């Protein structure tokens, strides 16, 4: 018999959240009967092949309450007695006094719709991200008196106020997070640290060819055979692409390279302008969002991978970016920074190079080092592939999640 489970997401499907899609499919294969509840409709024009494999029905909650007033009013009427008895309005009011925003009102409305429309046969709720989605799940489960659990990642942890993190952890049954750095921080502020579990996302190795990777001998001395640098990530501040462009512009003129960027994001137009200003635009290919198949092809044809992770002005940062794990699985040596969970994967000088965040000179030097040393690229690439296979296999990492959800 399949185990019914509701999963609450901020948006679905999303190209940048492949790790969530692979987890959903893995849960389905394990025997969970999943219904997805998304706070937002998709904005990406493409999807990954794994999205087509997912059987779960998707219910889109009202993204803006004024767009579906009848749905909201029906839900309020249907659950009016449970809302009154549950105490959810009092808890929401305490939250609202500390966060007087329209978003807080919208979360309560979405939660009411979720509580009204969640079928009786689904006795548990699991939510990705500890900020907005967890608020909706928390309020809905208060109304329905259901247990809920959460998976926390990066932005949801580091840009949420401490009071909100502490209270949500206290109210959920358990919480997983994807890096040791996240785990230590959340345990340090929580009244119930034992609830917090480390669970790396891992990688679905069946989707990434693990055949012997090929390594080029390119060293950047031939303009007809430039060294190919790849980066995959949204154009947002925490990815550090503005500083990466600065580092690339600082490379010696006699080193020939091509930089390939895959991903969308709000800063893309500005980054292209900066590349032109620095007179390196002819060396850059901006490919925009791409499917997982296309990304995989670029992992396999590139010489090194660069992700210049930073902490932005709002405190947002990456946890352990999945693209680093994906690149390593294909034997790509990587260059990244020593923040958050990145050092949990990248061992400096073993399977890649780590530099201090916002040190553009160090970043340039690391790029030069790997460009000019193909044997080092091969050594670090092979080491990275072994580390991914031994410690970041999704199927192994999901076993603990299965057990937690079955007991929820």
* pLDDT band at residue 395 under the 50/70/90 scheme: confident
Measured CA to CA, the distance from residue 175 to residue 155 in angstroms comes to 15
Cβ atoms of 324 and 346 closer than 8 Å: yes
Domains in the chain with CATH codes: 3-202+393-407 (3.40.50.2000), 207-391 (3.40.50.2000)
Closest C-alpha among 143, 104, 146, 139 to residue 121: 146
DSSP per position, 225-287: SPEEEEEE--SSGGG-HHHHHHHHHTS-TTS-EEEEEE---TTHHHHHHHHHHTT-GGGEEE-
DSSP per position, 133-166: HHHHHHHHHHHHT--EEEEE-SHHHHTS-HHHHH
Taking only the tens place, the pLDDT of each residue in 52-95 is 999 999 999 999 999 999 999 999 999 999 999 999 999 999 99
Taking only the tens place, the pLDDT of each residue in 324-383 is 999 999 999 999 999 999 999 999 999 999 999 999 999 999 999 999 999 999 999 999
Q: What is the pLDDT of residue 206?
A: 82
Q: What is the pLDDT of residue 210?
A: 66
Classified as helix, coil or strand, 102 is helix
Q: Which residue has the tokens 């809920």?
A: 148
Q: What is the pLDDT of residue 205?
A: 85
CA distances from 69 to 8, 198, 288, 398 (A): 21, 40, 36, 39
Q: What is the pLDDT of residue 244?
A: 98
Average pLDDT, the chain: 95
Cβ atoms of 235 and 268 closer than 8 Å: yes
Q: Which range, 102-116, 204-218, 393-407, is most confident?
A: 102-116
Measured CA to CA, the distance from residue 340 to residue 186 in angstroms comes to 13
Taking only the tens place, the pLDDT of each residue in 238-266 is 999 999 999 999 999 999 999 999 999 99
Q: What is the pLDDT of residue 211?
A: 66
Residue 209 has pLDDT above 80, yes or no: no
Q: What is the mean pLDDT of residues 385-402?
A: 91
Q: What is the pLDDT of residue 24?
A: 96
Residue 1 has pLDDT above 90, yes or no: no
Taking only the tens place, the pLDDT of each residue in 19-46 is 999 999 999 999 999 999 999 999 888 8
Q: What is the pLDDT of residue 173?
A: 98
Q: What is the pLDDT of residue 48?
A: 85
Cβ atoms of 126 and 405 closer than 8 Å: yes
Predicted model pTM: 0.90
Taking only the tens place, the pLDDT of each residue in 131-155 is 999 999 999 999 999 999 999 999 9
Residue 98 has pLDDT above 80, yes or no: yes
């Amino acid at each position: 018999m399949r185990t019914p489970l509701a999963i609450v997401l901020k948006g679905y499907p999303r190209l940048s959240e492949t790790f969530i899609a692979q987890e959903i499919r893995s849960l389905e294969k394990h025997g969970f009967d999943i219904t997805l509840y998304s706070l937002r409709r998709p904005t990406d024009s493409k999807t990954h092949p794994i999205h087509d494999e997912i059987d779960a029905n998707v219910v889109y909650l009202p993204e803006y309450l004024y767009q579906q007033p009848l749905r909201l009013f029906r839900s309020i009427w249907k659950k009016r007695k449970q809302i009154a008895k549950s105490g959810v309005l009092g808890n929401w009011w305490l939250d609202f006094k500390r966060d007087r925003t329209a978003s807080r009102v919208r979360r309560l409305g979405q939660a009411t719709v979720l509580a009204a429309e969640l079928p009786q046969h689904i006795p548990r709720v699991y939510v990705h991200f500890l900020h907005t989605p967890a608020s909706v799940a928390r309020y809905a489960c208060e109304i329905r008196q259901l247990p809920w659990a959460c998976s926390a990642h990066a932005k949801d942890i580091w840009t949420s106020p401490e009071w909100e993190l502490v209270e949500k952890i206290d109210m959920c049954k358990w919480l997983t997070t994807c890096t040791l750095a996240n785990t230590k921080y959340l345990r340090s502020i929580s009244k119930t640290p034992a609830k917090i579990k480390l669970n790396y996302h891992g990688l679905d190795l069946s989707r990434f060819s693990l055949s012997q990777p090929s390594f080029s001998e390119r060293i950047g001395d031939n303009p007809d055979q430039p060294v190919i640098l790849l980066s995959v990530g949204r154009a947002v501040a925490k990815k550090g692409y503005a500083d990466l462009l600065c580092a690339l512009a600082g490379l010696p003129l006699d080193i020939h390279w091509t930089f390939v960027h895959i991903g969308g994001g709000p800063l893309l137009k500005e980054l292209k302008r900066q590349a032109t200003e620095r007179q390196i635009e002819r060396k850059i290919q901006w490919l925009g969002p791409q499917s997982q198949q296309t990304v995989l092809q670029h992992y396999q044809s590139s010489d090194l991978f660069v992700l210049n992770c930073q902490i932005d002005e709002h405190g947002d940062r990456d946890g352990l970016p999945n693209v680093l794990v994906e690149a390593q699985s294909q034997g790509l040596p990587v260059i990244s920074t020593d923040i958050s969970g990145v050092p949990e994967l990248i061992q400096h000088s073993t399977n890649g190079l780590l530099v201090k965040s916002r040190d553009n000179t160090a970043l340039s030097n690391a790029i030069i080092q790997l460009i000019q040393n193909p044997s080092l690229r091969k050594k670090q690439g092979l080491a990275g592939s072994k580390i991914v296979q031994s410690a970041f296999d999704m199927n192994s990492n999901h076993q603990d999640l299965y057990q937690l959800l079955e007991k929820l």
